[in-house]
Amino acid sequence: MQVLKFGGSSVANATNISRVIDIVSKAARMDRVALVCSAISGCTDSLLGLARTERGSAERQVMLDSLKSRHDDIIRRLFTGAEREQISAKVQGLFDKLAAAPEDEMVTYGELFSTTIIAEKLRCEGFRTKWLDSRILVIKNNSTLTYNNISTAVALEPEVEIFVAPGFICSEYEGKVTTLGRGGSDLSASIFAAALKANRLEIWTDVPGIMTANPKVVPAARTIPEISYQAALDMATHGAKVLYAPSVQPAMEAGIAIRILNTFEPENPGTVVSLLPEPEVAEWMGVTSTDDTLAGESLICLVSNGNINGEAACARTEDCLKKAGIKTLACSSDGTNVYVTVRLAVAREALNAIHREFFEVVPLSSLNLYIAGRGAVGTALVDLIRTSGERIAERTGKVLHIEEFSSDHGIAARVRKISPRGSIFVDVTDSEDIWREYEGLLREGINIVSSNRRALAVPFVEYAAMKAAAQENGVFLRYETTVGSALPMLESISAGANSSDELISIEAVVSCTLNRILSEYTLTPCTFAQIVRKAQNEGLTESDPRIDLSGREALRKLLILAREAGVPLEEE
Ligand code: ASP
Ligand code: MG
């Protein structure tokens, strides 16, 4: 036996009921079905409204007519001919009873309408169907009697393939008709499952299972594939509307897993609620909220599935709210969940902030770096990446992964062959000809970062070709460190050149090395050779200091600056 329950939006109109019929038909081909349904959406609210109107008043008639016409519309679309007339008469009979019913029983009619129509439709589809009267079988707060009633009723009908029972409604021990409370159809389904020792309990609704938050409030919410009875109960108790909290108990006691599925996406596996072993490390399951409109506050509950460090969790919660500019009115933990109170007006924002903090950790992706050159710059760069890797990961979500090569020989060509698009080739060599590989790398979708001035002081056509290759392939060619040490200035210069401004002049100390050596030469009694050697030892010069001293380095910087400013100069 399997128990399937469909909520109000799943049976809201003829189109949706047809989906339900499809799902139930498929299930019935595998095993017998007990089908429990809610009233069509909005019906229970209307009935409660109806009960507050005056008997015989025009207002009551209008409400009755509109409820009747919604059901008539469904009947018109689902049935034809004699069958339509038969079911119409049946539903009319129920409406007549409703009009005469005591006010406190009116609310129980919604499920009678919906299940009468659905049972009839399944019969027309060729299934041996039996409608069960939950008002007689389900006795409020008496599970022994209830289970006995249900199992006996089913045992009497071995031929029946599909039992159809109204959810929500039941009777008091003394026989008075009543309900299991708003949203109580889930509980009816759980009771039927326990009574029939069902091997499957499916609750079909309009969202894909229990989600990490209410998707109508938190768009990033996602389905929780598996959750323990306890965590599901916590979520339901503290505001998750997808499951009526009391419905967990009967299924849990009978050891039946509750599957929450989406009528509008039947292939989606949804959520399985079952007995799960307590995890070694607790995980966050979801965030729910209940509003206290009178106090103007919202109580947010962050649910976990185990033992948490309450103090740390509260601190993290308050911190993320603070960052979002939201004031925490109160925060506490019971060792499993975190409870936060915020003003009602900011509840939506708070739920999103907490969800972002606890449920939207973007998985780290790795980024390959191919570094050519292990001189002073290369070594410093590798050190820097190693020490700041964590911070980089935190800020960008990317783990930098340095790919080592035993030598720089032919490295660019090898990278071109093996490297995935989007990785970064770093040229910290002083090679004269590695630039010839740049364009090919860029065309393969590999980004380039270079501190190699020679690679940029190439003939202008080559320089332009590299830039074009980068742009056309959506990758970058960056060489900010070739000029101005660590100061970012190339970007400002090219931005200036690309705007309507005219660049008149650039003033700069273009060679720190020359500046340093020449200053020391005038200020100290040391010999020129001593000063150069000292600068060399401090790592201030190129490996061959003559390149600095000849002014070649300074000239190349000027060339890079000029080109950046839009002047197509050549090194010569
Ligand atoms: N129709 C009832 C209600 O709206 C029961 C249910 O849908 O579960 O509360
Ligand atoms: Mg409902």
Of 185, 323, 168, 326, the closest CA to residue 243 belongs to 185
Cβ of 44 closer than 6 Å to ligand 1, yes or no, is yes
Spatial distance between the Cα atoms of 28 and 49, rounded to a whole number of angstroms: 37
Kindly report the length of the chain: 572
For tokens 């039947």, the residue is 266
Report whether 204 contacts 262 (CB < 8 A): yes
Residue environment code for 10-27, b if the CB has 16+ CB neighbours within 10 A, otherwise e: bbbebebbebbbebbbeb
241 lines ligand 1 (CB under 6 A): no
- In the reported structure, the alpha carbon of residue 526 is separated from the centroid of ligand 1 by a whole-number distance in angstroms of 94
Contacts 24+ apart (CB under 8 A), 272-277: 272/225, 272/226, 272/227, 273/210, 273/227, 273/228, 273/229, 273/232, 273/243, 273/248, 274/226, 274/228, 274/229, 275/228, 275/229, 276/226, 276/227, 276/228, 276/305
Q: Which CATH number fits the domain 2-41+111-206, given the four candidates 3.40.190.80, 3.40.50.300, 3.40.50.2300, 3.40.1160.10?
A: 3.40.1160.10
Ligand 1 pocket residue status of 7, Cβ below 6 Å: yes
d(CA 181, CA 211): 23
Q: Are 365 and 419 in contact (CB under 8 A)?
A: no
* 3.40.50.1010, 3.40.640.10, 3.30.70.260, 3.40.50.410: CATH of 284-359: 3.30.70.260
Strand ranges (E), 356-397:
365-372
213 Cβ contact partners less than 8 Å away, ≥ 6 residues apart: 220, 221, 286, 287, 288, 351, 355, 359
Residue 185, ligand 1, Cβ within 6 A: yes
Which ligand does the CA of 43 lie closest to? 1
In the three-class reduction of DSSP (H, G, I as helix; E, B as strand; rest coil), residue 489 is classed as coil
For residue 199, the CA-to-ligand 2 centroid distance in Å is 23
For 22-50, give the DSSP string.
HHHHHHHTTS-EEEEE-PSTTHHHHHHHH
From atom 2 of ligand 1, which residue's Cα is the shortest distance away?
Answer: 183
pLDDT for the residue numbered 278: 87
CB 479 within 8 A of CB 451: yes
| Residue 542: predicted pLDDT | 82
> Closest Cα to atom 5, ligand 1: which residue?
183
List the chain domain ranges. Answer: 2-41+111-206, 284-359, 365-482, 512-550
pLDDT tens, residue order, the chain (572 aa)? 999 999 999 999 999 999 999 999 999 999 999 999 999 999 999 999 999 999 999 999 999 999 999 999 999 999 999 999 999 999 999 999 999 999 999 999 999 999 999 999 999 999 999 999 999 999 999 999 999 999 999 999 999 999 999 999 999 998 999 999 999 999 999 999 999 999 999 999 999 999 999 999 999 999 999 999 999 999 999 999 999 999 999 999 999 999 999 999 999 999 999 999 989 899 999 999 999 999 999 999 999 999 999 999 999 999 999 999 999 999 999 999 999 999 999 999 999 999 999 998 666 678 889 999 988 888 999 999 999 988 888 777 788 889 877 777 788 888 888 777 889 999 999 888 999 999 999 998 899 999 999 999 999 999 999 999 999 888 999 999 898 877 888 888 888 777 777 788 888 888 888 888 999 998 989 999 999 999 999 888 888 899 889 988 889 999 999 998 888 899 99
- What's the confidence (pLDDT) of residue 495? 80
What's the predicted TM-score (pTM) here?
0.67
pLDDT of residue 260: 98
Residue 435 pLDDT: 92
The secondary structure of residue 453, as a DSSP letter, is: G
Output the pLDDT for position 3: 98
Nearest to 451 by CA among 387, 388, 377: 377
Atom of ligand 1 nearest to the CA of 110: 1
Please give all residues whose CB falls under 5 A of ion ligand 2, grouped by chain where several chains appear: 7-8, 38
CA distances from 422 to 419, 438, 439, 447 (A): 9, 14, 15, 6
Amino acid, single-letter form, for residue 229? Y
pLDDT score recorded for residue 362: 66
Cβ of 250 closer than 6 Å to ligand 1, yes or no, is no
145: tokens are 């009697």
3-state secondary structure of 355: helix
CATH of domain 365-482: 3.40.50.720
Strand order in the sheet with 162-166: 129-131, 162-166, 33-37, 2-6, 200-205, 258-262, 271-274, 226-228
- Angle, nearest 10°, between helix axes 143-155 and 185-195? 70
Q: Which atom of ligand 1 is least distant from the CA of 180? A: 5
pLDDT of 367: 87
State the DSSP H helix or E strand holding residue 304, giving kind and residue range, or none if neither.
Answer: strand 297-304
Identify any residues that bridge with 179 across adjacent strands, giving them in sequence order.
Answer: 169
- Contact of 94 with 117, CB cutoff 8 Å: no
d(CA 526, CA 360): 62
